[in-house]
Amino acid sequence: MHLILFFLFAGFCLAGAINLLLQTHPINSALSLIVVMTSLAVLYLLLGAEFLAIAQIIVYSGAVMVLFTFVVMLLNAGREERTLGSRAAARVGFPAVVVIFAVLATIVLHMQGIGSAHFGQGLSNAPGQSNLELLSQVLFHELLLPFEVTSVLILIAILGAVALAHVEGSKIPESGRTAEK
């Protein structure tokens, strides 16, 4: 049953990621990203990482996607125009993604054969220790600086988007007003 659910939600994740790339409207891309994030949460749940699954749904599928959607709507982005550059990027980008994926898959398969025990050192649970304790120890002790830098970068990106969307002396356009009689 776990294998069937894994392949089902891995398929949803891949389909959502491909749809994210193919969409021309930013809101549709954001909705596809929600599908990807929710599918990842189910995959975490299947791996026995309940805390990560709930955090994935609350933080990424909820809060971050609300912020992304808010920024997209604030910028009033419409449909993306197709240019020669986007077509050339598609012709070069897809083969490049396949090559990068092949290289990463080769590295992962090679590392599994060499020393998979090396990667698991220091990450096994003590007899009385839960997954949540282990995760918090890694996240808030060993990875504290990257965790905090990421939160500051997200804050700066949101402030930058608001600053770009703000125009001095801007008023509601005539098309946005209701007819007054």
Tens digits of residue pLDDT in 39-68: 999 999 888 888 888 888 888 877 777 777
Residue that finishes a domain, picked among 11, 46, 80: 80
CATH number at residue 59: 1.20.120.1200
Residue type, 118: H
Q: 62-110, pLDDT tens digit by residue?
A: 777 777 777 777 776 556 566 666 667 777 777 877 888 888 788 777 7
Number of domains in the chain: 2
**Residue 138 CB partners (closer than 8 Å, separation 6+):** 123
Residue 94 within any structural domain of the chain = no
Residue 6 within any structural domain of the chain = yes
The Cα–Cα gap between 49 and 42 comes to 10
Residue 88 within any structural domain of the chain = no
- Domain membership of residue 144 as a residue range: 134-166
pLDDT band at 151 (very low <50, low <70, confident <90, very high): confident
Residue 124 within any structural domain of the chain = no
Residue 111 within any structural domain of the chain = no
Residue 13 within any structural domain of the chain = yes
Residue that finishes a domain, picked among 54, 80, 106: 80
Residue 55 within any structural domain of the chain = yes
